[in-house]
Amino acid sequence: MSTFDAALAAIKFNEDGLVPAIAQQHDSGEVLMMAWMNAEAVRETLETGHVCYWSRSRQGLWRKGETSGQQQRLKELLIDCDGDTLLVKVDQDGVACHTGRRTCFYTAARGDDLVEVEQVRIDPKELYK
């Protein structure tokens, strides 16, 4: 059985054929983003070593960094105990968020306020020229 076949057998995709995938920087543990994968995205990620997701808005494969250059190289793909969530350990080039921040998790609930805890590193206009 191939790695892909074994992974597919272990993953419980939802009714839309998707599974949530959390991207984490492999060496620092920093949580970068959450996206969705379908079976084809899992296959491409495992085969190429470059992380591929499923874009629900575009209804197609989304190869991370294809327009911005901010690619994610796969270090390890982990399946949780229930098989219904993936942890994708990556080596992230630059920023992970379309807002130009390193992480998509940049708003913190602190007391009675929401506080931005991550500054924009690259103007999104530069990322998506």
Question: Annotated binding residues, as ranges?
Answer: 80-82, 84, 97, 104
Tokens of residue 62, six digits: 């989304």
Residues in binding site for Mg(2+) = 80, 82, 84
Beta bridge partners of 84: none
- CA 22, chain centre distance (Å): 5
Residues in binding site for Zn(2+) = 81, 97, 104
